């Protein structure tokens, strides 16, 4: 018995000492209050403790833009994992200059009230990154695991200006492009992720890429990608991209970037978007999908409601590849409802002959992506006039499945004047509104 007590005491002391020793300078850990015996504590939606019930971890802030606290950050994520909270305090900046593997998370709250800023050392980030073959994507860090909450009033700063300047004149889809740029927030193999209140600033490339993820929500977030240099605009700074995701919800969010506002990619299902505001973007697009030969891609069950699109290329859009050597799949059950456009080049687009496949070629090599049950309901506002009187362009691939396309309450005017025109090519059945083919 005595021996046992000694062994326990020794184990306790040595673990206390080793944890103590491991705490980096300037960091702190405040243990969670113990639950009172006669009171049942409320739980979050995943059945875990609320903020006030969690052990709280902090680290020192950075002193300047090169003062890398990545090691401390990783320590804090480990220390806060399994029921704790990592607080990044308001008014403080935490500089990350090393890639971070956060694929092992389980019940963690990350409360970001300050700023996480990535270094802009292009040489480093182009030699040390996490790689995803889909469009040759790289990222600063990977978030994975389950029951992950990232919330607060703070900022994820991609420090993109140096990247915009260095990338100027290059093209992401150029097969020869080797100038890879990191994605600001990436989840992989994650279940139950909630992002709330966070500002995403100047991502070098896509703002978010959600991969193999189940049930992820973004609420009250704001995305900005803005260059201070007129000769190097932000490029490919999409708001939302996804791959193999089931359950993607975006609500009450603002996106002011130079590329896609919201564009789920292959295998995204059960999408809910509500109260989304997009400025200067390439629109809210389903796809493109069906690009790669032999690969099955799909997007299904999307509800997009109360979307505002200002000063952009596209409004509500669907795109599926056609032509030689492309893939196959389907887009089905998509509803756009209550969409407001202003100064938008192409307010409504359905393109089943993507990318730039002319009618002859699209008939010869039809799309193998079946499109069905697509609704555009109550789309109103103004186009930019770039396409003259044309405010909607719906082009199906001759000989492909393209059915159940329905438009209702479309009230878009063009500054070009005259009655607005809806173009429809090779669409079978009644689409609910009057339309003309390109030939007419």
Ligand X SMILES: *[C@@H]1O[C@H](CO)[C@@H](O)[C@H](O)[C@H]1NC(C)=O
Footprint on this chain of ligand X (rule: CB under 6 A) = 63-64, 66-67, 121, 123-124, 145-146, 165, 168, 189, 229, 231-232, 244, 256, 266-267, 275, 277, 279-280, 295-297, 301-303, 306, 308, 311, 328-330, 333, 335, 358-361, 363, 370, 398, 401, 425-426, 437-439
Shortest Å distance, C-beta 57 to ligand X:
21
User: What is the DSSP annotation of 4-40?
Assistant: HHHHHHHHHHHHHHHHHHHSPTT-EEEPPPPPPTT-P
Q: List the alpha helices (DSSP H) in 126-196.
A: 161-167
**Closer residue to ligand X, CB minimum distance, 20 or 440:** 440
Tokens of residue 342, six digits:
């202003």
Please tell me the total number of residues recorded for the chain in this structure: 440
In the residue annotation, 87 being an active-site residue is answered as no
| Closest approach of ligand X to the CB of residue 304, in Å | 9
> DSSP characters for 293-311?
TT-EEEEEEEEEEEEEEES
What's the closest the beta carbon of residue 229 comes to ligand X, in angstroms? Answer: 4
In this complex, which beta carbon is closest to ligand X, that of residue 314 or of residue 426? 426
Question: What is the closest distance, in whole angstroms, from the C-beta atom of residue 31 to ligand X in the complex?
Answer: 26
Smallest distance, ligand X to C-beta of residue 314, A: 14
Shorter beta-carbon distance to ligand X: residue 56 or 225 = 225
Catalytic residue among 238, 241, 282, 345: 282
- Give the number of C-alpha atoms closer than 13 A to the C-alpha of residue 368, restricted to the C-beta side: 16
Distance from C-alpha of 299 to C-alpha of 305, rounded to nearest angstrom: 17
Give the integer Cα–Cα distance in Å for 152 and 42.
Answer: 20
Q: Where are the beta strands (DSSP E) in 345-386?
A: 346-354, 369-383
User: Is 220 considered catalytic here?
Assistant: no
Sequence-distant (6+) residues with CB within 8 A of 355 are: 288, 319, 321, 323
Pick the closer one to ligand X by CB: 233 or 389: 233
C-alpha 213 chain-centroid distance: 12
Helix (H) or strand (E) holding 267: none
Cβ-based nearer residue to ligand X, 273 or 391 = 273
Give the residue numbers marked as catalytic: 259, 282
């Amino acid at each position: 018995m005595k021996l046992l007590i000694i062994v326990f005491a020794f184990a306790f002391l040595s673990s206390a000492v080793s944890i103590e020793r491991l705490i980096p300078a300037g960091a702190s850990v405040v243990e969670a209050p113990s639950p009172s015996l006669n009171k049942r504590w409320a739980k979050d939606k995943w059945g875990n403790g609320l903020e006030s019930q969690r052990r709280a971890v902090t680290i020192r802030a950075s002193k300047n833009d090169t003062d890398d606290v990545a090691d401390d950050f990783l320590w804090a994520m480990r220390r806060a994992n399994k029921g704790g909270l990592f607080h990044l305090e308001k008014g403080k900046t935490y500089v990350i200059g090393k890639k971070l593997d956060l694929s092992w998370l389980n019940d963690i709250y990350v409360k970001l009230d300050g700023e996480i800023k990535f270094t802009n050392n292009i040489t480093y980030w182009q030699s040390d990154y996490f790689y995803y073959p889909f469009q040759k994507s790289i990222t600063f860090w990977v978030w994975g695991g389950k029951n992950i909450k990232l919330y607060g009033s703070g900022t994820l700063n991609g420090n993109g200006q140096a990247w915009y300047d260095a990338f100027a004149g290059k093209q992401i889809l150029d097969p020869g492009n080797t100038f890879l740029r990191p994605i600001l927030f990436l989840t992989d193999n994650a279940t139950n992720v909630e992002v709330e209140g966070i500002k995403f600033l100047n991502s070098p490339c896509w703002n978010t890429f959600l991969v193999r993820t189940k049930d992820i929500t973004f609420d009250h977030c704001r995305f900005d990608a803005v260059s201070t240099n007129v000769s190097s605009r932000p490029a490919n700074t999409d708001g939302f991209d996804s791959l193999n995701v089931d359950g993607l919800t975006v609500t009450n969010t603002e996106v002011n970037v130079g590329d896609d506002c919201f564009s789920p990619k292959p295998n995204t299902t059960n999408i809910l978007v509500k109260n989304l505001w997009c400025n200067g973007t390439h629109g809210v697009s389903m796809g493109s999908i069906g690009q790669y030969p032999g690969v099955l891609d799909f997007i299904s069950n999307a509800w997009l409601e109360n979307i505002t699109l200002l000063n952009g290329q596209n409004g509500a859009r669907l795109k599926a590849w056609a032509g030689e050597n492309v893939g196959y799949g389907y887009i089905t059950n998509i509803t756009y409802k209550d969409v407001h456009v202003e100064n938008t080049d192409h307010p409504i687009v359905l393109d089943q002959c993507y990318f730039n496949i002319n009618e002859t070629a699209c008939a010869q090599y039809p799309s193998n992506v079946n499109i069905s049950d697509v609704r555009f309901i109550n789309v109103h506002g103004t186009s930019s006039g770039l396409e003259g009187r044309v405010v909607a362009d719906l082009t199906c691939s001759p000989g492909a499945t393209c059915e159940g396309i329905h438009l209702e309450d479309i009230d878009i005017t063009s500054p070009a004047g005259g009655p607005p025109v809806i173009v429809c090519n090779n669409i079978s059945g009644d689409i609910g509104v009057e339309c003309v083919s390109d030939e007419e």
